[in-house]
Amino acid sequence: MNKNEECAIFQDLYDLYMEEEVEGESKQWMMEHEANCTHCQKGKIEREEKPVLHEDSEKIWGIRIMTTMIYCLFFLLSIWMSIWYLW
Ligand SMILES: [Zn+2]
């Protein structure tokens, strides 16, 4: 195995490793690789900070836009209805 392959395997197993689902020799190998590989230590920090935040703020924006649109729709509908009734 060369360095890039090791890192690819480490990245693949990392989620399982964090959930303690990697056992025995694999876990030992993961711990050693994590300790010795600056590339994966750096990647780990980026993985933990970025994707979650990005996904959450996207979801919040989606919900906000939906809620605003629904409010606007009801508002316009109620105006239209009251005009229609009064006419
Ligand atoms: Zn690595």
Phi, psi of 23 (to 5 degrees): -125, 165
Name which of 4, 30, 33 is nearest 16 in CA terms: 30
Q: What is the distance between the alpha carbons of residues 57 and 84, in angstroms, rounded to a whole number?
A: 40
34 alpha carbon – ligand 1 mean position (Å): 7
Whether 14 and 8 have beta carbons less than 8 Å apart is answered as no
Residues spanned by the domain of 67:
3-86
From first to last of its 87 residues, the chain has per-residue pLDDT tens of 788 899 999 989 998 998 999 999 999 999 999 999 988 887 665 666 555 556 677 888 899 999 999 999 999 999 999 998 887
1 alpha carbon – ligand 1 mean position (Å): 12
Number of Cβ within a 10 Å radius of residue 64:
10
8 alpha carbon – ligand 1 mean position (Å): 7
Residue 40 pLDDT: 84
Q: What is the distance between the alpha carbons of residues 52 and 78, in angstroms, rounded to a whole number?
A: 39
Whether 68 and 74 have beta carbons less than 8 Å apart is answered as no
Residue 51 pLDDT: 55
Count structural domains, the chain: 1
40 alpha carbon – ligand 1 mean position (Å): 4
66 alpha carbon – ligand 1 mean position (Å): 42
57 alpha carbon – ligand 1 mean position (Å): 30
Number of Cβ within a 10 Å radius of residue 7:
16
